[in-house]
Structure formats: C-alpha cells, structure tokens
Amino acid sequence: MDRDLFYNTVVAACMEVGRKARVLHQLSQGPDHPVNAFHPEGSYLKGLVLRIDE
C-alpha cells in the first residue's frame, strides 16, 4: 500500500464514521532503514498521528 492509498483509506474511514481528523504527524521508518529509489515497496512502514474531533 503506497502512502497516498494509506492516507485516502484513513480519510475514507473518518468520513464513514462521521468524524473529522487532523494529521498531526506522518510516520515512516527511521534513517537506519533507507528506501531504495528503485524499490519503492521498501517504504512499507507508515503511520499517522491523528487528532480525531467529535
């Protein structure tokens, strides 16, 4: 799953449950785990820190 699909999936889930969310921070692997430019699938660690508004 690429970063855009991950983000869009989270946005769709928030919309489905009727919540607004703000992205506070985008997470990925650390600098000790570089991603090869010719192998973008190596960027498999990703996450979002969200603030969910009620």
Q: Which domain holds residue 45?
A: 3-53
Q: Tell me what pLDDT residue 50 has.
A: 97
The whole-number average pLDDT for the span 25-32 is: 93
The whole-number average pLDDT for the span 9-33 is: 95
For all residues of the chain together, what is the average pLDDT?
93
Buried b (16+ CB within 10 A) or exposed e, 37-48: eeeeeebeeeee
22/43: higher pLDDT: 22
Q: Structurally, how many domains does the chain consist of? A: 1
Nearest residue to 28 via CA among 39, 18, 43? 43
DSSP line for 1-53: --HHHHHHHHHHHHHHTT-EEEEEEEEE--TTS---TT-GGG---EEEEEEEE
